[in-house]
Amino acid sequence: MGKVLGLFSILCLLNPHTATPQNCTGLVEISFQEIKGAIEKIKAFDALTNRIAALETEVATLKKYVPSVIFHARVSDGKNPVAKERLIYDAVTLNKGSAYNPSTGVFTVPVSGTYHFTYSLLGGIGEKDTSVFLMRNQEKQNYIHSVLNGDEAQTSSMSTILSLNKGEQVWIWLFTGKTWSGMGAISFQGILLEVGEA
């Protein structure tokens, strides 16, 4: 009972055209345990192959539907914007996805999802009351307010996370005062955190 004819031997003997032991000679005998082990290895290999195929499909889907959207820009040295103006961050360091426009200062949402933005403010010398708003279309989202005395100077920054729809616009509005833009003190950054319905 410990030994049985190999699978090929069994198939050979079951074939009506070669149903005699003489026609199936020379085939190796293997144990039940060896057959069971071989079947288990085949099943494990098939499961692994299927898992790899599923992962490859998932990666391909993510590459297709998750764009890379990152930008970093600043106001060039010597350009010191004044109140009631949209800040134009004309010096672009990074603009993956090309969603930020350095000519207008506007970031246009390329795909609905969750975004993180950071912006900074450095009031000009002698400016006692300077403020900027982060705008979503025409709506104020949050702001930086700088109140200084005499010749004081202070850099401030603010960050926010917004759920946005494709086509919406995000920009910075200088509401009061005047800024100083030396050495990249006035900057604006954004990054797509997660794709999804806003």
Note the pLDDT tens digit of each residue in 35-47.
777 788 888 888 8
For residue 115, give the nearest of 158, 160, 62 by alpha carbon: 160
What is the number of structural domains in the chain? 2
* Structural tokens at position 140: 């104020």
Rounded to an integer, the average pLDDT of 133-157 is: 85
| Residue in this structure with the two tokens 């990054």, named with its chain if needed | 191
Residues 12 and 40 in one domain: yes
More confident residue, 6 or 164: 164
Highest mean pLDDT among 23-27, 39-43, 102-106, 144-148: 102-106
> Is 186's pLDDT higher than 60?
yes
* Of residues 78 and 161, more confidently modeled: 161
What CATH number is associated with residue 170?
Answer: 2.60.120.40
Domain of 159, in residue numbers: 70-195
CA distance 194 to 123: 33
Q: Are 29 and 4 in contact (CB under 8 A)?
A: yes
pLDDT of residue 4 exceeding 50, the answer is: no
Question: Which of the listed residues 65, 83, 114 is the one where a domain comes to its end?
Answer: 65
Instruction: Examine the pLDDT at 92 and tell me if it is beyond 70.
Output: yes
Percent of the chain with pLDDT over 70: 79
Number of H helices, E strands in the chain: 2, 13
What values do phi and psi take at 118, rounded to 5?
A: -135, 140
